[in-house]
Amino acid sequence: MMTWRKAVLALIAAAIAPEEVDLLARSLRPEGRAEMEANAALLSALPVAEVQAELDPSRARVEGQLRLVVRNRESAPWYEVVLRAYPNAARGTWLRIDDVRVEGKRVAARSHGSVISVPLELSPGASAAISMSFHGQMRRLREGEGEELLSAVLPSNGGYGTFAAGPQGAALVDWYPQLAARAHGVWDREEPGPLGDASHADPANAVVALTVPHGWRVAAAGTALGQHPVTGGKETATFAAAGIRGSLGMAASPMYDEVTEQSSAIELRASSMHGEAGARALLSCARQALQSLQARFGPYPWTALAVAEVPLTGGAGGVELPGLALIAAALAGRALPAGLFEFTCYHEVAHQWWQGVVGSDPRRAPWVDEALAQYSAILVTEDVRGKEAADQALSTYVALNYHGMRLARVADGRVARAADDFRTPLAYAGLIYGKAPLFFDKARAVLGDAGFDAVSRAYRQAWAFREAGGDGWLQAARRVAPDRFSELSALQKRWWEEKHGDEDIAPPDGLALMEALGGTGGDNFAQLLRALQDNGAGDDAQVREALKQLQKLIPELSRMLQETQP
């Protein structure tokens, strides 16, 4: 196990030292810090996770020490602190703890599933330091796994590769014990299901040092404090970030080429497994997204944004984390349907506003961030490539999710429900990514472009570094455009509460559909279905049945494609 550099070691004190506050403040732009402290808490009052860990990609293992400083900002005493070890909720991975101490005294922590309960008594306004060791078994990736295109589009029950390592790289998401979200005096103990994002957390701070094999490079959120050789022929990379939700996300690879640039007082860092050209492609799309989204929705709050390729699996094209956007390596360095790589990048960067800044509960209200991030990617497309390209993206990368669901004979349904209420990946994708974002397209038609942006900025201002519920955007519209509230309220009910998708969503555009399927229509679709069956998606009985139904519909789909051509 490594030791921290002396400069970082000096920051570890019985409470949050002024030097540590200054270090963390470097990760926030002045307007970002002001917004966070106005809506959440003073930077010095937020929890701080201090982590030193080592990644062993050959064994797909990570182990380290966590020191968590927490302050009771409530009016009643606490008798426990709850942490979450999310890898324990996923199949084939785990994260175990031992030697748990409160202010240096060993305590008997209780673990069940992903929940870790640490007993203590903490008076209002008081702080405590909790320390522990942790050991994690990551998913072991085979050579080349996660780099095939199918891994970025095919759903499976094997997870998304977000806590996984192999010879080509590793993704570390929710990879060390993190403080549970807390609302109305109650810790969140709900176990995540197989669909959607797992992590539910409040804003906190983190200083993390990760040791990797020599030659591996680390990409992460926050201020990069450098990567330096340590004993044993290894290297340690250290990062600090303030006001982030969940663990400080990281990615590592022996294949990374990294390029950086300053853009509007933000350091952009792009790490690619496909050489300098791949890194510059990542940098370009991140820059485009930042310029568009800041102009529309207000400033990005952090001083740096990292974008990195990782070998994701299970149908994940990307993963969002505050200050870090992970893009599936399978989407880079290859010929793809026009705009798919860029659209995925835009979507993940948009999550910096809708989940990174404006929080939401990914388990109980998954549509809240996903729908607006998906539609924000449409807006970036329009700003970068024009209205025609945005309309095509809306048809191809948004509505097509709904059409694919219906072609599989999965029924339309309510958008506004918990992630665990969706019975299949097809239903989740069709409604959360396909139907829900189209509410915002209709709302923008009502409000106009400037009015839509004004409502979204008001929504951000009201909920920055807090957690918004399902009506947060609509209530912002009530304040900004009260004369349109009734119309918007009816639209939201129709699109998110009711079942009018078949009549409200235009039939699939044949050209767009063929483009999305790789340009060969039904034949390529049939190949995709066979690949789905051959790659383990049949583990889910309902997905198996959906595949059978899709197989039967191939002739009808091919005929439809032919009929829609000019």
Question: Among 7-11, 21-25, 225-229, 497-501, where is mean pLDDT lowest?
Answer: 7-11
Query: 301 pLDDT exceeds 80?
Result: yes
Cα–Cα distance measured from residue 438 to residue 419, given in angstroms and rounded to the nearest whole number? 19
In sequence order, what DSSP letters do the residues of 94-105 get, joined into one string?
EEEEEEEEETTE
Across 101-123, average pLDDT: 97
Q: Would you mind telling me the total number of residues written for the chain in this entry?
A: 566
Query: 313 pLDDT exceeds 50?
Result: yes
Cα–Cα distance measured from residue 499 to residue 273, given in angstroms and rounded to the nearest whole number? 43
Query: 151 pLDDT exceeds 70?
Result: no
Identify whether the C-beta of residue 398 lies closer than 8 Å to the C-beta of residue 432.
no
Question: What pLDDT sits at residue 277?
Answer: 93
- Fold observed for domain 367-563: Neutral Protease; domain 2 (1.10.390)
Query: 351 pLDDT exceeds 60?
Result: yes
Most confident of 259-263, 335-339, 545-549: 259-263
Instruction: For residue 230, give the nearest of 201, 260, 208, 209 by alpha carbon.
Output: 209
Tell me how many degrees the CA angle 421-422-424 measures, rounded to the nearest 5: 145
Identify whether the C-beta of residue 464 lies closer than 8 Å to the C-beta of residue 456.
no
Across 388-405, average pLDDT: 92
Side-chain-side CA neighbours of 272 within 13 Å: the count stands at 18
SS (H, E, C) 169-202: EEEECCCCCEECCEECCEECCCCCCCCCCCCCCC
Question: What pLDDT sits at residue 317?
Answer: 85
Across 518-545, average pLDDT: 47
Q: What is the pLDDT of residues 435-475, one digit of tens each?
A: 999 999 999 999 999 999 999 999 999 999 999 999 999 99
Instruction: For residue 312, give the nearest of 162, 194, 429 by alpha carbon.
Output: 162
Contacts of 355 (CB under 8 A, 6+ apart): 245, 320, 322, 362, 369, 373
Could you tell me the pLDDT band of residue 90, with boundaries at 50, 70 and 90?
Answer: confident
Longest dimension (CA), the chain: 75
Q: Mutual orientation of helices 541-552 and 554-563 as an angle, nearest 10°? A: 50
Query: 165 pLDDT exceeds 60?
Result: yes
Cα–Cα distance measured from residue 308 to residue 367, given in angstroms and rounded to the nearest whole number? 25
Q: What residues does CATH 2.60.40.1730 cover in the chain? A: 6-181+193-350
Tell me the three state secondary structure of residue 228.
strand
Query: 566 pLDDT exceeds 90?
Result: no
Q: What is the pLDDT of residues 63-75, one digit of tens each?
A: 999 999 999 999 9
User: Residue 35: how many CB atoms within 10 A of its CB?
Assistant: 21
Q: What is the pLDDT of residues 91-108, one digit of tens each?
A: 889 999 999 999 999 999
Tell me the three state secondary structure of residue 63.
strand
Cα–Cα distance measured from residue 460 to residue 473, given in angstroms and rounded to the nearest whole number? 9
Question: What pLDDT sits at residue 504?
Answer: 96
Bridge partners for 308 per DSSP: 271, 326
Query: 86 pLDDT exceeds 70?
Result: yes
Query: 127 pLDDT exceeds 90?
Result: yes
Main-chain phi, psi angles of 177, to 5 degrees: -55, 135
CA dihedral (400, 404, 410, 412) in degrees, to 10, reads 10
Identify whether the C-beta of residue 178 lies closer than 8 Å to the C-beta of residue 49.
yes
Question: What pLDDT sits at residue 509?
Answer: 59
Structure tokens at 364: 């109980």
Helix, strand, coil percentages (3-state) for the chain, rounded to 5, are 40, 25, 35
Cα–Cα distance measured from residue 136 to residue 517, given in angstroms and rounded to the nearest whole number? 38
User: pTM for the full model?
Assistant: 0.88
Strand order in the sheet with 324-328: 257-263, 266-272, 304-310, 324-328, 318-321
Amino acid code (one letter) for 28 = L
* DSSP secondary structure letter of residue 508: P
Query: 135 pLDDT exceeds 60?
Result: yes
Mean pLDDT value across the chain = 88
Q: How far is CA 561 from CA 407, 435, 551, in A?
A: 13, 22, 16
Identify whether the C-beta of residue 352 lies closer than 8 Å to the C-beta of residue 325.
yes
Q: Which CATH class is domain 6-181+193-350?
A: mainly beta
Q: What is the pLDDT of residues 419-440, one digit of tens each?
A: 999 988 889 999 999 999 999 9
Question: What pLDDT sits at residue 142?
Answer: 83
Question: Among 12-21, 74-83, 150-159, 218-227, where is mean pLDDT lowest?
Answer: 150-159
Q: How far is CA 47 from CA 57, 115, 475, in A?
A: 30, 18, 30
Cα–Cα distance measured from residue 242 to residue 215, given in angstroms and rounded to the nearest whole number? 28
Instruction: For residue 532, give the nearest of 420, 408, 394 by alpha carbon.
Output: 408
Q: How far apart are the first and last CA of the chain?
A: 65
Strand order in the sheet with 110-112: 110-112, 115-122, 78-84, 178-179
